Amino acid sequence: MFNFHIIKTKTSAAIPSHSQRVYLLVLLLDLLALAANQLAIHSSTFADAYSHYVYRVLSLGIGSVMGLLPFSVVELLLYATILFVLFDFAKQLCRALRVGAACVHSARISQDAQTHLLAAVARPLRRFLGHLFLILSTLLVLYVFLCGINYHRTSFSEEAGLSVTIDAHGTVYDEADLIALCDYLVTEINDTEAQLAATTTSDANANVLRAHTSAGADAAGTTTESATATAEASNTDTASASATESPTTTVGASGPSAADETAATTIQVEGVCIGQTSETPKPSAAWLWHAGRTGQRAMEKLGQRYRRLSGHYPYPKPILNTWILSVQQTTGVYSPFTVEANYNRDIAYYDIPFTICHELSHLRGYMQEEEANFIGVLATIGADDLYFNYSGYVSAWVYAGNALARIDSTAFATLYSRINARTRQDMLYNNAYWQQFEGKPAEAHEQLNDAYLKMQGQTSGVRSYGHVTDLMLEYFEKNGTLAQ
């Protein structure tokens, strides 16, 4: 039986003044964040100044601290926050029910006392809503000051001297220029693959994981694809408070027999895999650590050419629960709440270096997805690591090849047939990996992300990833290469 006097004493207590001050302060921070975001939308001068001087200091400081930890802090915070919200809701609900039970047993008390009891029932639920308000407000403030404002800064391409105008309705490419870029990429892919294969062959400890045989293979170990081969592009992202990247479903032969048409030997040396299949072991922790460190160095090297990219980069983190990203068809995520670059360690080997550099570019405030893709291409191709070069060239081909397939499938098929068998197998594996996650969750995520990107000023939505081809074309036309 509840003691009415005790209940009345508890429920009549006023909210402490310090709690009121906390909520007021948080509300003011929310308003400040919203005002700063609106100012950035209407003034690129403010966005540039904030990004260059305030965000850079915050990013370098917070990122350096978070980079000391080898695991994804934001991933653990996500799980902890979910558990806290569920526990707090259950706790406050139980309190409300307990006080409500007292109201039932005290039906004959005065009207004034009943009012106090009803207030006591509502108080635990108000406390839960207050906690939820504090959590959401914290996320809002961190998002705006460590991500949102940067969407409105001057683009990297403009700072790099490229005068590309992105058309939200789709770019009309010069076919000859696009074919020249794709031809260049095919040559570089084959050269880097050959160098990697030679390194593997000369290594006595090289591990041959699997061999495919095909009667239709030519003497060079490659096959000619049908002229009807198509590009299957899948570009998705997230509409959550953190920017994430979509898997670039690679250009490859379509049809269930495509893998059988490829003759390749899957090889692995020093953790590097070429010609990945479903039977290939997943990347080891040692190789992921190496890839992360190499990605840091690649971005710092690129920073020597472009001042806005200069400085230290924190260690990029492979997330523990890869299903969270895979079901969204997402390869990586930048967390503005902890200033971390996170990536999906289950994706195709060749996509990991490119994704790492893409995510790290967001830590310099370049939030536009085509810009991050372009930086990722330049960083991996310019890295002092042959497999990173391979990743950059293959990733660049995915976008440029997809664009070519849409306007000239015959030219695409001719170039695709020139790509070595192991790389084609890598791309086929990548396609197969993402196909298993196709469905309603992925579709919903894409629609949500498309709305998010458009809300941030990327009028092309999820198609913005593919606009990296525009940047590569102009850069290639000016320099004749992507390697400098």
For residues 261 and 323, is the Cβ–Cβ distance under 8 A? no
Return left, alpha or beta for 222; rule: phi > 0 is left, psi -120 to 50 is alpha, else beta: beta
Enter the tokens of residue 287: 């190789």
For residues 262 and 424, is the Cβ–Cβ distance under 8 A? yes
Average pLDDT for the chain: 80
> Rounded to an integer, what distance in angstroms lies between the CA atom of residue 237 and that of residue 461?
9
Percent of the chain with pLDDT over 90: 57
Return left, alpha or beta for 179; rule: phi > 0 is left, psi -120 to 50 is alpha, else beta: alpha
Assign 230 to helix, strand or coil.
coil
Nearest to 207 by CA among 265, 291, 283: 265
Residue 105: predicted pLDDT: 60
> Rounded to an integer, what distance in angstroms lies between the CA atom of residue 372 and that of residue 366?
6
- The DSSP element (H or E) to which 151 belongs, if any, is none
To which residue do tokens 């036309």 refer? 477
If pLDDT is split at 50, 70 and 90, which confidence band does 455 have? low
> Rounded to an integer, what distance in angstroms lies between the CA atom of residue 372 and that of residue 64?
20
Please classify residue 288 by burial: count the beta carbons closer than 10 Å to its beta carbon, then call 0-12 exposed, 13-18 middle and 19+ buried.
buried
Residue 262: predicted pLDDT: 45
Residue 156: predicted pLDDT: 92
Enter the tokens of residue 213: 């045989």
- The yes-or-no verdict on residue 220 having pLDDT over 60 is no
If pLDDT is split at 50, 70 and 90, which confidence band does 245 have? low
Assign 284 to helix, strand or coil.
coil
- The yes-or-no verdict on residue 85 having pLDDT over 80 is yes
> Rounded to an integer, what distance in angstroms lies between the CA atom of residue 17 and that of residue 49?
38
Residue 47: predicted pLDDT: 96
Residue type, 116: H
User: For the whole prediction, is pTM greater than 0.85?
Assistant: no
Least confident of 213-227, 343-357, 411-425: 213-227
If pLDDT is split at 50, 70 and 90, which confidence band does 307 have? very high
Residue 466: predicted pLDDT: 60
For the stretch 97-115, pLDDT in tens is 776 666 656 555 556 555 6
Q: In what order do the strands lie in the sheet with 332-335?
A: 243-245, 332-335, 340-343, 317-318
Using CA atoms, how far residue 29 sits from 26, 35, 288, 422, in Å, is: 5, 10, 39, 54
Least confident of 56-70, 254-268, 292-306, 427-441: 254-268
- The yes-or-no verdict on residue 242 having pLDDT over 50 is no
Q: Give the orientation angle of helix 111-146 with respect to helix 73-105, to 10 degrees.
A: 170
User: Residues 247-271, buried b or exposed e (16+ Cβ, 10 A)?
Assistant: bbbbbbbbeeebbebbbbbbbbbeb
Residue 240: predicted pLDDT: 35
| 420-437 average pLDDT score | 94
If pLDDT is split at 50, 70 and 90, which confidence band does 20 have? confident
What is the longest distance spanned by two Cα atoms in the chain? 97
For residues 247 and 434, is the Cβ–Cβ distance under 8 A? yes
Residue 467: predicted pLDDT: 83
| 425-447 average pLDDT score | 81
Residue 88: predicted pLDDT: 92
Enter the tokens of residue 152: 């409105």
The 10 Å Cβ neighbour count of residue 272 is: 21
- The DSSP element (H or E) to which 219 belongs, if any, is none
* Contacts with 365 (C-beta within 8 Å, 6 or more apart), sequence order: 51, 55, 56, 59, 150, 153, 308
